[in-house]
Chain A
Amino acid sequence: MHYVIVGNSAAAIGAVEGIRSVDPNGRITLFSDEPYHTYSRPLISYYLFGKVTEDKMYYRPLDFYERQGVEARLGTKVSSLMLGEKMVVLESGESVSYDRLILATGGKPILPPMPGRELEGVSSFLKWEDVRGLEKTLFPGARTVVIGAGLIGLKAAEALVKRGAQVTVVELANRVLSAILDESAAAMVQESLEEHGVRFFLENTVSEILGTEGKVSGVRLQDGTVRECDRVVIAIGVSPNADLARNTELTLNRGVLVDEFMQTSVAGIYAAGDVAEGYDILYRQKRVLPILPNAYKQGFTAGVNVAGGSQSYRGGFAMNSIGFFDLPMITAGIVKPEGDEFTVMLAADKARRLYKKIVLREGKIVGFIALNQIDRAGILTGLMDKEVDVTPFQDDLLREDFGYVYFPKEYRQQQLLKGVLEGERS
């Protein structure tokens, strides 16, 4: 059996580990257009400000491919698929045949068609290469405009500030982190970032990047404002990198559609991670969930199934743990519900920048925001994942010491004594 994996990040590594949990001997070939040993994408912002050095960037130990028996062809781009022939075609023209194929090609930056994108000093913030360029040329005081106040844009902004840059963030929405925070929480986060020197222009965007002699010299905003700057980071968002699947029999929506086994519309071909569109158990529809835990889990599931095992991943939901300077936050699921099927519970302390919001539907938690008060937040995530009816202890959910002690005894013991209670051996 010859497995071919396109990709070398969380989903691809999950796939390798999934395959090996079932099939220790099958041949695995992995392709990546990036030249590096598998690295952790979220660490690129840490790398930029020097918190993580090169040797700590790697997602798995340096002998990973060898130990797992993987032929890793790094720096090798797959340029097209020939599904009929069961072959992938490389940029060099070489074609490689497979028995089973896993697409784990991740995401690519959304680059709006704004003039000036090609100027020197403009970069995106997705690959190690992007920050390697920035890192070398960044000088103290560099005036930097970040386009986009989402997770990646703000992570970039934080790292740039820590590197001594003067940072301005421009965002189309009315608040920062609009995908994971509501207005109140976003205002607290924005205020904290402002205290660290970040300037914000909300409900605005860059209409043109200005340059002189091929280099960035400023930006013109939608409202006409012109700001001088030395660097521009485009972080508007990520879309599934599904180029390989286009014009093939694979069914595409935003991403490559997969079932609960991570199989695409074509038997024997699987997809996982930021390129795939699987089921979201909260929105109750297929959605791209571009987060690392989802990429790994989907990849692992794909690996198990491709190798003849049987594991279903019934679906995931959005969840993030992120922090800027000393302000951590954990959020999950539906955080700004619309409709009367939802109940919202709220606790806020503006002065201490504490904010907790829990969203319920049909007696179950479907979303929460925990700002600056994140300890044990995973208990809530667990209740969401297991779709536990929280009605019996709903009033305790917002307590600072919320924990297993508030659960009904039977459920608590089922969880805590798993493995030793009679008849419940795991």
Chain B
Amino acid sequence: MKRVYAREEICGGCKLCEVHCAVAHSQYPNDIIKAFLKQKTKPIARILVEEGRPISFALQCRHCEDAPCTKACITGAMQKDPVTGIVANDETRCVGCWTCILVCPFGAIKRDESGHKVASKCDLCATVGGTPVCVQNCPNDALVFTDELWRR
């Protein structure tokens, strides 16, 4: 399946991907100003830029083949789509027990406590379709959406 890969040699650590991810998953997905000013709680990015001199890179759910989060989920809310491979959380059933955080080896799940507690994670912008917004908006092309082999 296509996943988002970060090129740590190129990432400048500007965190625009975080901003665009937060907006795309907010109540105002098309309006960056409203998303940050109008929504009662600060929109949460489902991608995280890790920084450490001299490198930085963005990290989000890897949509693992064996997806430990889906096996550990106590309610059955976290599931991997057998066709697309996308791991997504049914937020109506999630109870915010954070068992998925306990087992996610990438630390890719965030706690969203703005409403009823839910586990918040990358959905590859499945609802938008096409290329995820983090990839679209990276000014340095440090994020690649692909399922092809790389030559280093």
Instruction: Mark out the residues of chain A between 21 and 57 whose CB falls within 8 Å of any chain B CB in the assembled complex.
Output: 40, 42-43, 46, 51-52, 56
Q: Is the CB of B150 within 8 A of A420?
A: yes
Quick check: is B92 within 8 A (CB to CB) of the other chain?
yes
Task: List residues of chain A with CB within 8 A of the CB of B31.
Answer: none
Task: List residues of chain B with CB within 8 A of the CB of A40.
Answer: 74-76
How many positions in chain B have a CB within 8 Å of any CB in the partner chain? Answer: 43
Number of A-B contacts (CB under 8 A): 131
Bound Cα distance from A350 to B48, whole angstroms: 29
Q: Is the CB of A385 within 8 A of B105?
A: yes
Given contact pairs A321-B99, A417-B150, A420-B150, A404 touches B72 in the complex (Cβ within 8 A): no
Task: List residues of chain A with CB within 8 A of the CB of B71.
Answer: 14, 293, 296-297, 300
Give A419's nearest chain B residue, CB to CB. B3
Instruction: Mark out the residues of chain A between 395 and 426 whose CB falls within 8 Å of any chain B CB in the assembled complex.
Output: 401, 403-406, 415-422, 425-426
Out of B59, B107, B151, name the residue touching A378 (CB < 8 Å). B107
Out of A52, A292, A386, name the residue touching B95 (CB < 8 Å). A52
Out of A59, A328, A405, A419, name the residue touching B51 (CB < 8 Å). A405
Instruction: Mark out the residues of chain B between 61 and 114 whose CB falls within 8 Å of any chain A CB in the assembled complex.
Output: 62, 65, 68, 71-72, 74-76, 92-93, 95, 97-107, 109-111
Given contact pairs A43-B74, A52-B95, A416-B5, A293 touches B103 in the complex (Cβ within 8 A): yes
Interface class of chain A by DSSP: mixed
Q: Is the CB of B150 within 8 A of A418?
A: no
Bound Cα distance from A377 to B105, whole angstroms: 8
Task: List residues of chain A with CB within 8 A of the CB of B100.
Answer: 378
Shortest CB distance A301–B (Å)? 10
Task: List residues of chain A with CB within 8 A of the CB of B92.
Answer: 56
B-side interface residues toward A, CB under 8 Å? 3, 5-6, 48, 50-52, 55-57, 59, 62, 65, 68, 71-72, 74-76, 92-93, 95, 97-107, 109-111, 146-152
